[in-house]
Amino acid sequence: MNTPQPRSTDENEIVLGQGMGPLKFGASMDEVRTLMGEPEEIEESEDDDEFEHQAWNFLEEGYSLYFDREDDYRLSCIETDHPGMRLYGEPIHGKSLADIQELMRRHGHGQGEMEKVDTGEVRLSYEKEMIDLYFDEDELQFINFGVFIDDDLEVQWPK
């Protein structure tokens, strides 16, 4: 029996290297527009940015979706502070740094690298998994995650 795909990101399940809910890395702008509707705001990259891109901001839903020119403007990165976000089936918003490290460890990932960023948050990064998790006062606030890239810097689009 085929289960119909949800029409929104209510699902909020993050699958590393794949996407979130019905949003799959590699989707075209038109495919994303069909799923999400029009973004409330579209940001263009600055001239001095390393990668030319567009960011589609869905402020009310708590998502920013990134499309890189180099990747033919396909969905390559998602940033979210949605309170319903889940990773490996577990709710993660507001979790402590130690809780997130334990979750990642249970799923075969290392310790990750920590860095305090200029704005005061602590960033926990898993480079191979292409995910950065940002904590304020030891509570996960938002994450940024993207499509996997291999050792030769080739994008590994989900199949």
The pLDDT, as a whole number, for residue 48 is 63
The pLDDT, as a whole number, for residue 32 is 96
Contact 18, 27 (CB under 8 A): no
* Structural domain includes residue 154: no
The pLDDT, as a whole number, for residue 5 is 37
* Structural domain includes residue 152: no
Task: Give the tens place of pLDDT for each residue, 115-136.
Answer: 999 888 999 999 999 999 999 9
| Mean pLDDT along residues 42-66 | 85
* Structural domain includes residue 7: no
Q: How many domains does the chain have?
A: 1
| Mean pLDDT along residues 2-22 | 71
- Give the lowest-confidence range in 42-46, 65-69, 122-126, 127-131: 42-46
* Structural domain includes residue 82: yes
The pLDDT, as a whole number, for residue 1 is 37
Residue 132's domain comprises: 13-146
* Structural domain includes residue 54: yes
Contact 159, 25 (CB under 8 A): no
- For residue 115, give the CATH number of its domain: 2.60.460
Give dist(CA 60, CA 141) in Å, integer: 16
* Structural domain includes residue 72: yes
* Structural domain includes residue 2: no
Query: Which pTM value belongs to this model?
Result: 0.88
| Mean pLDDT along residues 8-30 | 88
Give dist(CA 153, CA 159) in Å, integer: 18
* Structural domain includes residue 67: yes
